[in-house]
């Protein structure tokens, strides 16, 4: 079992983030000492934390991460990752189009100057 400070250091998740994740039922401590309310995490929590860190780096929202964690078999994780990838591709296309529009706008301003 790991104290919050140890677990925070191991996972890169801040103590505040760990508290928030417990608050929204995303990842709760493995054990809470009833005497002093200290929270402890175990090895299973460690692997879940690493998954959450990775999902967050992929741009998953809290709600999306909750839906992943609610499915304990992770059967739909691949589908969610594919959906996220498709969303990112669509956003990239939209941004590329915006860049092209900005370039065209800038070019039209230069033509008028000449």
Q: Which of 44, 32, 43, 40 is nearest to 2 (CA)?
A: 40
- With 70 as the cut, is the pLDDT of residue 112 above it? no
pTM of the complete model: 0.72
Q: Which of 78, 79, 76, 66 is nearest to 25 (CA)?
A: 66
Reported as a single tens digit per residue, the pLDDT across 65-96 is 988 888 777 778 888 899 999 999 999 999 99
How many whole angstroms separate alpha carbon 103 and alpha carbon 35?
Answer: 64
Q: Which of 40, 43, 42, 54 is nearest to 12 (CA)?
A: 54
What average pLDDT does this structure show over 5-28?
A: 91
Query: What size, in residues, is the chain?
Result: 114
Reported as a single tens digit per residue, the pLDDT across 21-55 is 999 989 989 889 889 988 999 998 999 999 999 99
């Amino acid at each position: 079992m790991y104290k919050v400070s140890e677990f925070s250091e191991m996972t890169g998740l801040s103590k505040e983030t760990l508290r928030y994740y417990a608050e929204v039922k995303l990842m709760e401590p493995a054990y809470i000492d009833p005497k002093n309310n200290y929270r402890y995490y175990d090895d299973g929590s460690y692997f879940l934390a690493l998954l959450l860190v990775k999902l967050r780096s992929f741009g998953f929202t809290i709600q999306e991460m909750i839906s992943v964690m609610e499915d304990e078999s992770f059967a739909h994780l691949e589908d969610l990752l594919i959906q996220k990838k498709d969303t990112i591709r669509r956003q990239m296309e939209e941004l590329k189009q915006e860049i092209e529009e900005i370039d065209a706008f800038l070019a039209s301003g230069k033509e008028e100057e000449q």
